Amino acid sequence: MKKECVFIDVFTDAPFAGNQLAVFPEGNGLTSEQMQLLAKEINYSETTFVFPADEPEADFNIRIFTPGRELPFAGHPTVGTAFAIMDLFDIWTEKSDVLKLATKVGVIPLRREQGMLWMTQNEPEFFAQHKDRKEIAGLVDLTPDDISAALPVEEVSTGNRILIIPINSLKAIERAQGNVTNMRKFFKGDLVGPYLFSLETTNPKVKVHTRFFAPHLGILEDPATGSAAGPLVGYLLKHRVFGEKFEIMNEQGVEMGRPSLIVMRGNLEGGKYSIEIGGTCAYIGRAEFEI
């Protein structure tokens, strides 16, 4: 059995930047074990598989795999898969500017707007806040003084439960690295990994600088993490960092040499959160695998 896939860079308009993704347009016939083996062989942070929709409100179902396990949801794979379906594959007969992808956390709508794909994420859920800054700093080999005292370390989910960690300075966040031993002890159950952010940036047009580490999942560092950017939007709204409505750019992947730009829209009105993540994609190439 032969299976084709395409390679895409997500959250960039230039090849060989952003976050890498492999997309298989025809997942039927593959077992979960085979999909996991393909994701491990390709060894990108995520690989996706497209299936016909099994619910009326969705256009397609997708499954998302890291090299180590299946994820219920992830941001850049959802955006990149939408780009592949809209622009590269001939599998969507009723094409429009809105595509609905069913994931294991629900149906995610994606909208094309002036060349950019926008993903609407679920309303945020807020979980525990962590006071032990020494323990938190140890996850990413920083010192407690590198963690901001002005904002909380907090677990937030818009599909994936992410630990949001505010960092005092750009220099501090640049020093960070994932401590796999400490992360394996800390991240259990639904809590996926840490998303570090600093309000100091390398690009003056950008408002936040971010990094995501997940060596405990087989991902040393992720150059663009849409499923963590959504929780960060919820966090920024809750704590009024940029007020109750904003559209800002988030730079990630700089330290990896794969700069990414994630556009983040947030609105909090009447206690209801609206969260959108936007970005562009670049086509890289195609491959065929013998299963």
The residue assigned the tokens 């999909």 is 35
pLDDT by residue (tens digit) across 31-78? 999 999 999 999 998 999 999 999 899 999 999 999 888 999 888 999
Distance CA 15, CA 284 (A): 6
* Mean model confidence pLDDT for the chain: 95
The answer to whether domain 2-120+280-290 and domain 125-276 are alike in fold is yes
Ranges of each domain in the chain: 2-120+280-290, 125-276
Q: What pTM does this model have? A: 0.91
Is 46 part of the annotated catalytic residue set?
Answer: yes
The class (CATH top level) of 2-120+280-290 is alpha beta
pLDDT by residue (tens digit) across 200-217? 999 999 999 999 999 888
pLDDT by residue (tens digit) across 235-274? 999 999 999 999 999 999 999 999 999 999 999 999 999 9
C-alpha dist (Å) from residue 38 to 17, 55, 216? 22, 26, 19
Which CATH number describes the domain made up of 125-276?
3.10.310.10
- In the structure encoding, which two tokens stand for residue 144, read together? 């407690």
Q: Which one is catalytic: 4, 26, 33, 46?
A: 46
